[in-house]
Amino acid sequence: MSDTKLQAVLSSLSQAARQLDVLPSGRPAPDASYVKLNTNENPFPLPTIVWQSAIAALERQYLYPESDNISLREAAADAYGLSKDHVIAGNGSSELLGLIYRAFLAPGDSVAMMSPGFSFNRKLALLQGAQLLEIESSEPHSLPVEQFLLAPAKDAKFILLANPNNPTGTFVPVADIECLLAQSDRLIVLDEAYVDFAPDNGLRLVNRYSNLLLLRTFSKSYAAAGIRVGFGFGHPELIGRLRNIQNVFSMNVVGHAIGISVLAHRAAYEENHGHIRHERQRVTIALSKLGFYVTPSHANFLLARVPEGRDGRCWQAALEKQKILVAFFPDKGLENCIRVSIGTRPQMDAFLAATRDISESFRVGRSPASRL
């Protein structure tokens, strides 16, 4: 394609697409020698009975998946005490979040979100030609209800809350969320991706408030990040319209089978969840002794402010040299932090050993030893 033709094609892009930079190719997945603690996966294998459902589904791989994800929606409705018309299932909760942006936002609209929050929301808003309003709270463990009811957030088409929040891991009382639902006539989207590691959840609010859409995923607490299973719960009038704009066959047969099996065997994950809570506390104490400040977390990760003298990017790079991957965010207020997923006991031991070595090397001014 000549440059003239290319420019003609690019000029026909939508305004939102023209604002996006060309996306460079990503990096390949790290090999098994790396300890991957940067994307909040749950590293444990699926229970055997859940694996068996996946194998059985593959025997019918030549068939299209079930239309409208109906059996999976019915299974979720039974598990969570709702009707199937209150449930939408999707290719991870991220697909459902994208549907909400498409359904509720037009160019010039705005959406409000707690800050810091899930950065992908900025791109979702941009693609709709909308503005993302990021609302900060002076109290990280409470919801700034008044700020969401007043300008500039009062004109937002919907309010997005993550509880527990990512990347902080903080949890606000469900009573605060109910207070906002009761006082506002706007849509409240409650993302509970990490709620199985928290002390409470908002599911009981679905039948009480018609302006609530609640999102769940099996990526974090049910070790199915690569399978892509997510749910939305809300009033049938909202859910039915979202289902109507959903892509045909948005999920595959393996996702359907694993989703249904997980819902039937949630008790099989109790040891998994208990391990993550225990390791979360153990690593919090260990990092604190090394001079980190760790935000109290109710998720499967920790946000840790690094010791003075280095920033978060420096620590991320030093850990990667030792084949430990953690997350860093350049956002205002997070520059001096790293986010660490909670993995297996050996993974967390390797992370802590590398962190101790790097702390000592920074203290005496030598280069950290590479991890073999």
8 Å CB contact between 93 and 192: no
Give the Cα separation of 303 and 295 in Å (integer): 6
Give the mean model confidence (pLDDT) for residues 215-241. Answer: 95
How far apart CA 79 and CA 94 sit, in angstroms, is 21
- Cα distance between residue 146 and residue 154, in whole Å: 10
Pairing of strands 230-234, 293-294: unpaired
* Amino acid 26: pLDDT: 66
Q: Is 70 exceeded by the pLDDT of residue 371?
A: no
Q: pLDDT tens digit string along 41-79? A: 999 999 999 999 989 999 988 989 998 999 999 999 999
Q: Select 31-44+270-361's CATH number: 3.40.50.970, 1.10.10.10, 3.90.1150.10, 3.40.50.150.
A: 3.90.1150.10
Pairing of strands 293-294, 301-305: antiparallel
CB atoms within 10 A of CB 11: 8
User: Rounded CA gap, 105 and 129, in Å?
Assistant: 8
Q: What percent of the chain has pLDDT over 70?
A: 95
Would you say 328 and 167 are in contact if contact means Cβ atoms under 8 Å apart?
no
pLDDT band of 12, cuts 50, 70, 90? confident
Of 43, 20, 124, nearest to 341 by C-alpha is 43
Which among 184, 176, 129 is positioned nearest to 153, based on CA atoms? Answer: 184
- Alpha-carbon distance 128 to 131, whole Å? 9
CA distance 190 to 353: 37
Fill in the amino acid letter for 157: K
- Assigned token pair, 13: 């892009």
**pLDDT for residue 25 is more than 80:** no
CA 123 to chain centre: 15
Determine which helix (DSSP H) or strand (DSSP E) holds 49, and give its type and residue range.
helix 48-58
**Model confidence over 261-278: pLDDT tens digits?**
999 999 999 999 999 999
The mean-pLDDT minimum among 20-24, 118-122, 127-131, 232-236 falls in 20-24
Phi, psi of 371 (to 5 degrees): -85, 130
Q: Per the confidence metrics, is the pTM higher than 0.75?
A: yes
Model confidence pLDDT, tens digit, residues 138-184:
777 788 899 999 888 889 999 999 999 999 999 999 999 999 999 99
Cα distance between residue 349 and residue 279, in whole Å: 10
pLDDT at 137: 77
Distances in Å between the Cα of 67 and the Cα atoms of 70, 84, 245, 316 are 7, 14, 13, 44
Residue 88: pLDDT over 80: yes
**Given pLDDT bands bounded at 50, 70 and 90, which one contains residue 372?**
very low
User: Which phi and psi (to 5°) does residue 264 adopt?
Assistant: -80, -15
Between CA 246 and CA 220 the distance in angstroms is 23
Structure confidence at residue 367 as a pLDDT band (50, 70, 90): low
Six-digit token pair at 43?
């590293």
Task: Give span(s): CATH 3.90.1150.10, the chain.
Answer: 31-44+270-361
Integer CA distances (angstroms), 331 to 160, 237, 304, in order: 18, 37, 14
**Reported confidence tier of residue 2, pLDDT bands at 50, 70, 90:** low
Q: Is the domain 48-264 a CATH 3.40.640.10 member?
A: yes
Residue 304 has pLDDT above 80, yes or no: yes
Select the highest-mean-pLDDT range: 134-138, 185-189, 360-364: 185-189
pLDDT band at 1 (very low <50, low <70, confident <90, very high): very low
Average pLDDT of the segment spanning 217-221? 95
In order of 21, 66, 187, the CA distances from 83 in angstroms are 43, 19, 20
Q: Give residue-wise pLDDT tens across range 173-216.
A: 999 999 999 999 999 999 999 999 999 999 999 999 999 999 99
